[in-house]
């Protein structure tokens, strides 16, 4: 796979057509039974920002993401995108690829196109997006023959096909091996730079958060306990000293050292 990193400002038409959405959360609370998972979250994410959310397992990261993606409704509080409620402009990439096993790779990507266009146009659009994730030649295959990393790339292509203005990822790389993870991180960073959507990534891997995000949120006891800007130049290299320092600060917070 070749990954070319484009300048953030490159290709102006593209950035206009799929510009990111600004997100605004006010007093967002979520409860399951007697358990309060999110306790009044206030959060502003500017358009096009890349946000990473980290936190201990079970602290409510997925819950928060599902609310932002509009899959669930909060107990109380409001979530607005550019002043409106979340709609088709948001896509959530799940922990699992969730491809339809009975649909070819191309048809799976077409799910992201909705009902737009005729057959030939849809097929062409699907192959085009698959090319962006380096899988243009796999459109005719069954998902079952792909590797875990390739399946996640197809899921990414499906999400991209719908031109999301906000793309949320729930530990999308959790099940991948180390090298595939790094490849996927580069790919996600690249499509984000190409398309200019707002990105929110949940991860339990702090170094991944530092490698990808402009801003890292630590979720703890139902609130944002730490909000940290990552001001490192892109493309980022793994093992960079400044990155390691930020990583250390977050780990200290998580492990209460």
Partner 1 sequence: MRRITPWLLPLAILLLWQASASFGLIRPQILPAPTEVGAAAWRLTRSGELWTNVEVSAWRALLGFAIGGGIGFAFGLLNGLSRRAEVVTDTTLQMVRNIPHLALIPLVILWFGIDETAKIFLVALGVFFPIYVNTLHGVRSVDRQLLEMGRAYGMSDRALLWRIVLPGALPAIFVGLRYGLGIMWLTLIVAETISASSGIGFMAMNAREFMLVDVVVFSILVYAALGKLADTVARALERICLAWNPVYAKG
Ligand X SMILES: Nc1ncnc2c1ncn2[C@@H]1O[C@H](COP(=O)(O)OP(=O)(O)O)[C@@H](O)[C@H]1O
Instruction: Give the binding site for Mg ion (CB under 5 A).
Output: 62
Residue pair 126/159 in contact (Cβ under 8 Å)? The answer is no
Which letter, b or e, does each residue of 177-193 get, where b requires 16 or more Cβ atoms within 10 Å of its Cβ?
eeebbebbbbbbbbbbb
Binding-residue pattern over the window 149 to 178 for partner 1, x denoting contact by CB under 8 A: ---------x---x----------------
Out of partner 1, ligand X, Mg ion, none, what residue 37 binds, judged by CB under 5 to 8 A for its kind, is ligand X
Residue 62 binding ligand X, by CB under 6 A = yes
Least distance to Mg ion, CB of residue 60, Å: 9
Strand 166-170 with 90-93, pairing? parallel
The distance of closest approach from Cβ of residue 82 to Mg ion in the complex, given in angstroms and rounded to an integer, is: 26
Nearer to ligand X, 94 or 192 (CB): 94
Q: Which residues face 199 on adjacent strands?
A: 50, 167
Return the range that interacts with ligand X (CB under 6 A); candidates 44-52, 61-69, 123-131, 191-199.
61-69
Q: Are strands 215-220 and 223-229 parallel, antiparallel or unpaired?
A: antiparallel
> Closest CB to partner 1 among 151 and 215?
151
Q: Determine if 189 is a binding residue for partner 1 (CB under 8 A).
A: no
Distance in Å, CB of 150 to ligand X, minimum: 25
Strands 215-220 and 50-54: parallel
CA atoms within 13 A on the CB side of 204: 12
Q: Give the span between the Cα atoms of 131 and 153, in whole angstroms.
A: 10
Q: What are phi and psi of 197, to 5 degrees?
A: -75, 160
**Kind of pairing, strands 166-170 and 50-54?**
unpaired
Residues with Cβ within 8 Å of 192's Cβ and at least 6 positions away in sequence, in order, are 50, 167, 199
Residues 114-133 that bind partner 1 (CB under 8 A): 114
Q: Which of 45, 92, 139, 217 binds partner 1 (CB under 8 A)?
A: 92
CA distance 6 to 22: 23
Residue 204: CB minimum distance to partner 1, A? 20
Residue 100 binds which of ligand X, Mg ion, partner 1, none (CB < 5-8 A, kind-dependent): partner 1
In the set 25, 48, 52, 61, which binds ligand X (CB under 6 A)?
Answer: 61
Task: Report the residue from 60, 74, 112, 149 that binds ligand X according to the rule CB under 6 A.
Answer: 60
196 binds ligand X (CB under 6 A): no
Among the listed residues 205, 193, 207, 216, the one whose alpha carbon sits nearest the alpha carbon of residue 240 = 207
102 binds ligand X (CB under 6 A): no
**Of 60 and 70, CB closest to Mg ion:** 60
Q: Which positions lie near partner 1, rule CB under 8 A?
A: 69, 71, 88, 91-92, 94, 96, 98, 100-103, 111-112, 114, 142-144, 158, 162
């Amino acid at each position: 796979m070749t990954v070319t990193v484009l300048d953030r400002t490159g290709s102006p038409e593209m950035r206009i057509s799929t510009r990111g959405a600004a997100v605004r959360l006010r007093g967002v609370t979520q409860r399951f039974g007697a358990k309060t998972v999110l306790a009044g979250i206030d959060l502003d994410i500017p358009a096009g920002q890349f946000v990473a959310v980290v936190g201990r397992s079970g602290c409510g990261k997925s819950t928060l993401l599902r609310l932002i993606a509009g899959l669930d409704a909060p107990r109380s509080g409001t979530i607005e995108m550019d002043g409106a409620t979340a709609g088709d402009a948001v896509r959530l990439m799940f922990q699992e690829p969730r491809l339809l096993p009975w649909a070819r790779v191309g048809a799976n990507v077409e799910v992201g196109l909705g009902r737009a266009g005729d057959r030939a146009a849809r097929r062409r659009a699907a192959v085009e997006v698959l090319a962006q994730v380096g899988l243009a030649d796999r459109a005719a295959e069954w998902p079952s023959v792909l590797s875990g990393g390739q399946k996640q790339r197809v899921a990414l292509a499906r999400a991209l096909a719908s031109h999301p203005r906000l793309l949320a990822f729930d530990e999308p790389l959790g099940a991948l091996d180390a090298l595939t993870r790094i490849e996927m991180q580069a790919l996600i960073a690249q499509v984000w730079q190409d398309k200019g959507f707002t990105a929110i990534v949940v991860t339990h891997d702090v170094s991944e958060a530092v490698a990808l995000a402009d801003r890292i949120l630590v979720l703890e006891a139902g609130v944002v306990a730490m909000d940290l800007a990552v001001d490192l130049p892109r493309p980022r290299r793994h093992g960079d000293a400044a990155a390691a320092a930020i990583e250390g600060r977050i780990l200290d917070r998580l492990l209460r050292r």
